[in-house]
Structure 1
Amino acid sequence: MMNRRHSADKALPLALAGEGEHVRIHGLKGGKGLTRRLMDLGLALGSEVRIIQRRPGGAMIVARGNLRVALGAGMAQKVMVTISPPEKPRDDEMLANGAAA
């Protein structure tokens, strides 16, 4: 997991995030191709994701809502994130999941 002593505005590579960690995509250390690829995967600057699983070798699975995305180790090193508290679910998401509003 990320060191909690880092301030929320200190960006670190996604590869350093631990399982269960909620992070916000803050920047990219790559060109237009990386940006386009992440957008195609449903991830953009400002998106909040949760680390679902870390794989041997640095690959990881992240979630954004119901979307699950696998990222290779190289891509995870280039995605800069900040620690983020979990977003509260919207009323429509809670209703879709069977919770009372």
Structure 2
Amino acid sequence: MVQKNGEKPSTKKDLVEFEDRIVHQFKIISEELMQKIDLVAEGVTNVNENLGRVEQRLVEKVVNVENDLSSIIRVSYLDLSKRVDDLDRRVKELEKTISH
């Protein structure tokens, strides 16, 4: 056993007891460490799940915005196409009027 005054263990029994205490303390510390590692792992799992849900919502929003923009562009293109066609028709009518 280690003396209170800091002397080293003097007998084999003292060494065995000292070793047993060290092993016991190591087991306690390693169990606490494993519990903390388990908590961290659980936290990482939760964060990953949350990120997965956030990612899915963002993907859905991007797809919705893309669809909305495609619809708006399609409608705008059709409207512009009609205007151009109408202007072409009017120009042709004016050309006919001027040439007669």
TM-score (ref. length: structure 1): 0.21
Q: Mark the structure with the bigger radius of gyration.
A: 2
Scaled by the length of structure 2, the TM-score of the pair is 0.21
> Higher RCO, 1 or 2 (CA under 8 Å, sep at least 6)?
1
